[in-house]
């Protein structure tokens, strides 16, 4: 089978068009735009690029975006105080603390301070609990974007065998919960998994989220499987490559995401969508 490509850029554009419409309705009803505030500590170049992109894309859908830049020697107390200030600010609907933080800062403690109603990254313990108990709440953006890509393929998740490779709090664990909620049978594989190839060979849905270039070999993919590649790795020559050996996998899969242009663009689109969700929920109190 030759795979159809899941065009993350195009689907992200659809999501953003929906968000823009909801923003217009929100402004009409409440007389202000939904607001997204990003906290960026230090000067990591990759983080600068991501945050710049978030700010720009927020603007294109009518969301008020602000970036709070703090120096790399910011203390834990100062960072937590900034988050509390944003928790209390009426016009702030979504707060995102850009990760990773400089090594001397404890990101879990910062996230614990975040007001769950403004947790547009879906990373607070409250958001995690709501997700695993199948209740409405803010969902982590990258896995939420993957679910939207799966929905686009039209492939049935109910009863499907899914393998998720990677157990991070940002992607692997939450997407496992989302797939279970859709009645898939989920294997959550990780670095200690025995015979990963065999687990992948039996999967109808493969989600690769480990951050190791081409770890998943093309010949592991079952004929007709759907492959979602969350990995963004840089090759020696500076090219972006995923966690899946693309060419081999694309010969077998029914659908596959490219890297770049697959999951990546969805992350920011879902962040904007979460910001409007948060704004609507807060305004309805």
Residue nearest ligand GUE (C-beta atom)? 264
Binding mask 118-157 for ligand GUE (x = CB under 6 A): ---x-------------------x----------------
Min. distance of Cβ 234 from ligand GUE in angstroms?
Answer: 9
- Binds ligand GUE by CB under 6 A, chosen from 57, 267, 273, 274: 267
What crossing angle do the helices spanning 8-30 and 45-60 adopt, rounded to 10°?
60
Task: Given the residues 93, 98, 173, 277, select the one marked as catalytic.
Answer: 98
Compute the distance between CA of residue 58 and CA of residue 24 in angstroms, rounded to an integer.
Answer: 13
- Give which of 148, 138, 56, 50 is closest to 100, Cα–Cα: 50
Burial class (CB in 10 A: 0-12, 13-18, 19+), 182: middle
| Among the listed residues 152, 232, 248, 281, the single contact to ligand GUE using CB under 6 A | 232
260 belongs to the binding site for ligand GUE (CB under 6 A): yes
Which backbone phi and psi does 27 adopt, to 5 degrees? -65, -45
Q: Is 211 in the site for ligand GUE (CB under 6 A)?
A: no
Catalytic residue list contains 54 = yes
Is 166 within any annotated ligand binding site?
yes
The active-site residue out of 121, 204, 229, 243 is 121
Contact call for residue 172 and ligand GUE (CB under 6 A): no
| SS3 assignment, position 209 | coil
User: Least distance (Å) from ligand GUE to the CB of residue 142?
Assistant: 6
Contacts of 247 (CB under 8 A, 6+ apart): 218
State which residue, 51 or 184, has the beta carbon closest to ligand GUE.
51
Cα 61 to Cα 47, 226, 271: the distances in Å are 21, 31, 12
Q: Is 167 part of any known ligand binding site? A: yes
Q: Is 37 helix (H, G, I), strand (E, B) or coil?
A: strand
Is 252 annotated as ligand-binding?
Answer: no
Establish if 245 lies at the interface with ligand GUE (CB under 6 A): no
Give CA–CA dist 4/7, Å, rounded.
9
Question: Among the residues of 61-138, which ranges form H helices?
Answer: 76-88, 107-113, 125-132
Q: Does 220 bind ligand GUE (CB under 6 A)?
A: no
Binding site for ligand GUE (CB under 6 A): 50, 96-99, 121, 141, 232, 240, 260-261, 264-265, 267-268
Task: Return the active site residues.
Answer: 54, 98, 121
Q: Which residues are annotated as a binding site?
A: 166-168, 232
């Amino acid at each position: 089978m030759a795979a159809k490509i899941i065009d993350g850029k195009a689907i992200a554009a659809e999501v953003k068009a929906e968000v823009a419409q909801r923003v217009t309705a929100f402004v009409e009803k409440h007389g202000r735009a939904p607001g997204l505030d990003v906290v960026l500590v230090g000067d990591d170049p990759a983080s600068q690029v991501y945050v710049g992109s978030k700010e720009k894309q927020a603007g294109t859908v009518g969301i008020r975006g602000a970036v709070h830049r703090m120096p790399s020697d910011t203390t834990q107390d100062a960072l937590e105080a900034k988050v509390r200030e944003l928790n209390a600010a009426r016009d702030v609907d979504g707060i995102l603390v850009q990760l990773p933080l400089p090594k001397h800062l404890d990101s879990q403690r910062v996230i614990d301070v975040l007001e769950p109603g403004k947790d547009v990254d879906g990373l607070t313990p409250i958001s995690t609990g709501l997700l695993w108990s199948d209740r409405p709440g803010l969902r982590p953006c990258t896995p939420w974007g993957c679910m939207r890509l799966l929905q686009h393929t039209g492939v049935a998740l109910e009863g499907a065998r899914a393998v998720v490779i990677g157990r991070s709090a940002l992607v692997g664990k939450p997407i496992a919960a989302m797939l279970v909620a859709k009645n898939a049978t989920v294997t959550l594989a990780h670095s200690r998994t025995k015979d990963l190839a065999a687990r992948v060979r039996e999967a109808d849905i493969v989600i690769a989220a480990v951050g190791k270039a081409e770890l998943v070999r093309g010949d592991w993919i079952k004929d007709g499987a759907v492959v979602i590649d969350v990995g963004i790795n840089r090759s020696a020559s500076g090219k972006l490559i995923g966690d899946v050996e693309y060419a081999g996998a694309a010969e077998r899969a029914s659908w596959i995401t490219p890297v770049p242009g697959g999951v990546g663009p969805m992350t920011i689109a879902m962040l904007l969508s979460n910001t409007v969700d948060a704004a609507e929920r807060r305004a309805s109190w």
